[in-house]
Copies of this chain bind each other. A is one copy, B any other.
Amino acid sequence: MQTVDQIISPSWIFDGISNDLLENNSIVIKGNKIIDIVPTNQLQDLYQADAVFNLDNHLLTPGLINAHTHASMSLLKGYADDCSLNDWLNQFIWPAEKKYVDESFVRDGTRLAIAEMIKSGITSFNDMYFYPEVTAEVCVEHGMRGNLGLVTLDFATNYAHDPDDYLTKGLHFRDQFRGKSLITTSLAPHAPYSVSDKTFEKINTYAIELDLRIHTHLHETRHEIAESEEKYGASPIQRLDKLGILGPAVTAAHCVHLSSLDLEILNKNNVTVVYNPTSNLKLGSGIADLKSMMDKKLCIAVGTDGSASNNRLDILNELLIGLLVNKGVNMESEFLNAKVLFQMATLNGAKALGIEDKVGTIEKNKLADMTTYDLSNVYCQPSYDPLSSLIYSGGRSLVSHVWIDGKLKLKEGELQSFDESSLLTKAKAWQDKIKTIQTS
Q: Which residues of A contact B (CB under 8 A)?
A: 75, 77-79, 81-85, 87-88, 112, 115-116, 119, 222, 277-278, 280-287, 311-312, 321, 323-325, 327-338, 376-379, 381-385, 388-389, 392-393, 395-397, 420, 423-424, 427-428, 430-431, 434-435, 438
Contact = CB atoms under 8 A, between A and B. Distances in A.
A280 B328 CA distance: 7
B85 A333 contact: yes
B284 A424 contact: no
9 contacts: A87-B334, A284-B330, A284-B333, A325-B325, A381-B427, A382-B428, A382-B430, A384-B434, A384-B435
Contacts of A119: 378-379
A334 B83 contact: yes
A281 B328 CA distance: 4
A284 B116 contact: no
A87 to B, nearest CB: 8
A77 B431 contact: no
A85 to B, nearest CB: 6
Contacts of A435: 384
B284 A327 contact: yes
Nearest to A115: B378
Q: Enumerate the 5 nearest inter-chain pairs by beta-carbon distance, A residue then B residue, closest first.
A: A281-B328, A382-B431, A284-B333, A311-B392, A281-B324
Contacts of A335: 284
Contacts of A388: 78, 81-82, 311
Identify the interface centre among A84, A88, A284, A382: most chain B CB within 10 Å of its CB. A382
Contacts of A376: 424
Contact of A311 (B325, B393, B434): B393
Nearest to A396: B397
B311 A382 contact: no
A18 to B, nearest CB: 19
Given A82-B337, A282-B333, A312-B393, 17 more contacts: A77-B382, A78-B384, A82-B333, A82-B338, A83-B334, A85-B333, A87-B334, A283-B327, A284-B328, A284-B332, A284-B335, A378-B423, A381-B423, A381-B424, A382-B430, A384-B434, A396-B397
A336 B381 contact: no
Contacts of A327: 281-284
Contact of A328 (B325, B330, B434): B325
